[in-house]
Amino acid sequence: MKFFWVKLIRYLTSSKWIPAVVFSLSRKKCDFLAELASSAGLVLTTTTEQHKISVFMKSQIAKLDKEDQNLRQVLFATETFAVGVNMPAKTVVFEDISKFDGCSRRLLKPAEFIQMAGRAGRRGQDDCGIVLLLTGGHFPSEHDLNAMMMGKFT
């Protein structure tokens, strides 16, 4: 798993598909992925950038300052990050597209998917955004994907 994430982050960087937000639908998994990237020696930000990102997150600033818009980074976040924080990226990666809703696992609802995927390509610098779905070999049916991506908001 570590090799996959290191390779993916290097690919995103070399393809100039950053900044990127990697959404994990589990806080525990999100923390694990961030630690995995860090332990692999992937330096995603400088000390100065780390400080700026920390300040940004703590104050929940709605818009990034001009100097922050050029930060090259990969941000690991839960779906909560997508609501109410203006953090556009070139690429959005879904670590998973199903979540536990308190009773059972289910695919993301259209509103949930669009809220997160909508972060991609909104920087005013991109012709389009890039959204990657990592399914771990459990690829949903075309019907389910269509319902998640194009369905009615509830």
Residue 36 inside a domain? The answer is yes
Q: Decide which of 1 and 51 is more confident.
A: 51
Tell me what pLDDT residue 62 has: 44
The CA distance from 141 to 59, in Å, is: 40
Tell me what pLDDT residue 59 has: 58
CATH code for position 103: 3.40.50.300
46-74 pLDDT, tens per residue?
A: 788 778 776 765 554 345 555 554 555 78
Residue 144 inside a domain? The answer is yes
Sheet with 130-133: strands ordered across: 74-77, 20-23, 91-94, 130-133
Residue 60 inside a domain? The answer is no
Residue 59 inside a domain? The answer is no
Residue 51 inside a domain? The answer is no
Tell me what pLDDT residue 110 has: 93
Q: How many domains does the chain have?
A: 1
**DSSP letter assigned to residue 68:** G
CB 95 within 8 A of CB 22: yes
Residue 88 inside a domain? The answer is yes
84-121 pLDDT, tens per residue?
A: 777 778 899 998 898 888 899 899 999 999 989 988 88
21-54 pLDDT, tens per residue?
A: 999 887 787 788 778 777 777 766 778 877 877 6
Residue 6 inside a domain? The answer is yes
Rounded average pLDDT over 118-142: 85
Rounded average pLDDT over 128-134: 93
Domain that holds residue 110: 2-44+73-150
Residue 89 inside a domain? The answer is yes
CB 92 within 8 A of CB 20: yes
